[in-house]
């Protein structure tokens, strides 16, 4: 059962009236995926929107020889799967749970009906799509304009700005991604990323502290923007 409280956690539906929430509650379902569970594959037909209540997923494209490019990592409150519902094309990427992940699932016709009825939801949706396009533009710039060292530095800055917590001393820390995850986000090998992380650490741009990375102010000064 999906409650109004759960829906309130999803920014896409911020600003909805109780009456709308009630009707969403009666039609949405809750689904749990285990770590590494595939939610859907690229090229599948899409008929549902997914909203993450808790957990983390990756949006990824796989090449024929098994190489992976991670387009995005999404977590609590994020939604995905809207593109196929809006343009009626197959899924543009594969979605895989990175840890046990609980989601609310909304069927295409119910999603489209709420979007048509409530301009607020449409604006929330467009706002997220605009941010994703901005981020994709930055990623294209990062891939095209920088060497692997610069790419690693910039992807760490991006993660810090999205998921980071400011410490008492002003530095920002966030949960450390695996070197393979970073490699798959910037089109490099895991070995190269490991070497670059060690270099950044040695040069005082980052500090590794248990499961976290701490970003030093010098990293932003040196590598901010493209």
Stretch that binds ligand CMP, among 84-92, 96-104, 116-124, 206-214 (CB under 6 A): 84-92
| Residue in 6, 10, 57, 93 binding ligand CMP, rule: CB under 6 A | 93
Beta carbon of residue 60, minimum distance to ligand CMP (angstroms, whole number): 9
Q: Which is nearer to ligand CMP, 108 or 201 (CB)?
A: 108
Q: Which is nearer to ligand CMP, 26 or 161 (CB)?
A: 161
Q: How far apart are CA 72 and CA 166, in angstroms?
A: 23
Interface size with ligand CMP, residues (CB under 6 A): 15
Q: Which is nearer to ligand CMP, 71 or 183 (CB)?
A: 71
Q: Which is nearer to ligand CMP, 46 or 55 (CB)?
A: 46
111 is a contact residue toward ligand CMP (CB under 6 A):
no
* Residues whose CB is less than 8 angstroms from the CB of residue 170 and which lie 6 or more positions away in sequence, other chains included: 217
With left for phi above 0 and alpha for psi between -120 and 50, is residue 210 left, alpha or beta?
left
Please choose, from the candidates 81, 60, 42, the residue with its C-alpha nearest in 3D space to the C-alpha of residue 185: 60
Q: At 61, which helix (H) or strand (E)?
A: strand 56-62
Per the listing, tokens 């891939």 go with 143
SS3 for 98-147 is: CCCEEEEEEEHHHHHHHHHHCHHHHHHHHHHHHHHHHHHHHHHHHHHHCC
Q: Which is nearer to ligand CMP, 84 or 173 (CB)?
A: 84
Binding mask 131-160 for ligand CMP (x = CB under 6 A): -x---x------------------------
* Residues whose CB is less than 8 angstroms from the CB of residue 122 and which lie 6 or more positions away in sequence, other chains included: 115
Give bridge partners of residue 101 from the DSSP assignment: 33
| Residue in 33, 80, 111, 174 binding ligand CMP, rule: CB under 6 A | 80
181 is a contact residue toward ligand CMP (CB under 6 A):
no
* Residues whose CB is less than 8 angstroms from the CB of residue 119 and which lie 6 or more positions away in sequence, other chains included: none
Beta carbon of residue 170, minimum distance to ligand CMP (angstroms, whole number): 30
The site for ligand CMP (CB under 6 A) is made up of 46, 59, 71-72, 80-84, 91-93, 95, 132, 136
């Amino acid at each position: 059962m999906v409650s109004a409280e759960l829906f309130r956690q999803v920014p896409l539906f911020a600003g909805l009236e109780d009456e709308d929430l009630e009707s969403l509650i009666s039609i949405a379902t809750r689904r749990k995926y285990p770590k590494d569970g595939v939610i859907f594959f690229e090229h599948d037909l899409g008929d549902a929107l997914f909203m993450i209540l808790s957990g983390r997923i990756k949006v990824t494209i796989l090449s024929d020889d098994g190489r992976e490019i991670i387009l995005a990592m999404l977590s609590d409150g994020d939604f995905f799967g809207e593109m196929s519902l809006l343009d009626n094309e197959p899924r543009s990427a594969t979605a895989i749970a990175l840890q046990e992940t609980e989601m609310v699932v909304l069927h295409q016709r119910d999603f489209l009906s709420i979007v048509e009825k409530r301009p607020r939801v449409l604006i929330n949706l467009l706002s997220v799509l605009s941010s994703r396009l901005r981020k994709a533009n930055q990623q294209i710039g990062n891939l095209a304009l920088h060497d692997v060292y610069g790419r690693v530095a910039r992807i760490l800055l991006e993660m810090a700005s999205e998921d980071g917590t400011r410490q008492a001393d002003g530095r920002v820390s966030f949960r450390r991604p695996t070197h393979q995850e970073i490699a798959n986000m910037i089109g490099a090998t895991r070995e190269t990323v490991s070497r670059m992380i060690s270099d950044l650490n040695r040069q005082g741009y980052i500090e590794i502290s248990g499961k976290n990375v701490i970003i030093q102010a010098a990293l932003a000064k040196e590598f901010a923007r493209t």
